[in-house]
Amino acid sequence: KTVIAVDFLLRQGAWGYANEEVLAAVPWSAVLAQHFDLEASSGSTRRLLLKLAALLHDIAKPQARAIEEDGRIRFLGHAKEGAAIAVNILERLRFSAKEVKLVEIMVRHHLRPGQMSDNGLPSHRAIYRYFRDTGEAGIDILFLSLADHLATRGPHLNLARWQEHAQMVEYILAQRFEQESLVVPPKLVDGHDLINMFGMSPGPEIGEFLEAVREAQASGELTTKEEALSYIRE
């Protein structure tokens, strides 16, 4: 069902439970169409890899299934376990290393869009972290999350909640395409600055400080080198 939903969202097929309002809520543009038509590696398009991720994203649910004391069924860790299974399958099928990596990231992070905000639209910091962790698969995962939503609800889709989900995806995509500095903040300071200004020794600590600066930049807290140095000093 999730694979069929992917085709529907990418304007390549029908979805039996949908009406015009459902599809109209989903962001679409020539840029997105071009993105999914791009060849990722070895002849596989982004569209094909997204379908593979849709096919495999819940593959670990049976082994991750657990019943809690209140009777609720949970699938804790199924995304991480599913990513490992997906890698094993695609490697045996002779997919390229890049293709395997992209699908692995999609499966591992397919729940991530729904975890970016408890209420309302995600913050700039959350969006920065999302694309930092998902890289070039970030756009694809947003559509996988929409397809998963459709496939899970089927004929019981709540239109209002669907529109909220689609609005969140549209907002994240807008930030991605319109604010490049949010995804890749311009460098304000580097390791040499930290060594020279604060006497730090080369090592993981420097990377942690630089990452903290990038997050603060993404959230709009820092815009200059002086602000970044002051932020580190504090």
Rounded to 5 degrees, φ, ψ at 99 are -60, -45
Does residue 153 have a pLDDT over 90?
yes
Burial class from Cβ neighbours inside 10 Å (0-12, 13-18, 19+) for residue 225 reads: middle
Q: Could you report the per-residue pLDDT of 98-110, keeping only the tens digit for each?
A: 999 999 999 999 9
Which amino acid is it at 20? E
Region for residue 67 given its phi and psi (left: phi exceeds 0; alpha: psi -120 to 50; beta: otherwise):
beta
| Mode of pairing for the β-strands spanning 73-74 and 39-41 | unpaired
Torsion angle, alpha carbons of 189, 193, 198, 204, to 10: 70
Distance CA 80, CA 78 (A): 6
Q: Which token pair is 136?
A: 């070039």
Does residue 75 have a pLDDT over 90?
no
Say what the pLDDT of residue 189 is: 95
Q: Could you report the per-residue pLDDT of 167-189, keeping only the tens digit for each?
A: 999 999 999 999 888 898 999 99
Q: Which token pair is 206?
A: 């420097």
Instruction: Provide the 8-state DSSP code for 112.
Output: G
Does residue 69 have a pLDDT over 90?
no
Say what the pLDDT of residue 35 is: 96
Q: Which token pair is 148?
A: 């998963």
Secondary structure (3-state) at 45? strand
Element (H, E) at 41: strand 39-41
Q: How far is CA 200 from the centre of its chain?
A: 34
Does residue 19 have a pLDDT over 90?
no
Say what the pLDDT of residue 18 is: 81
pTM to 2 decimal places: 0.91
Query: What value does the mean pLDDT take over residues 135-139?
Result: 96
Say what the pLDDT of residue 44 is: 94
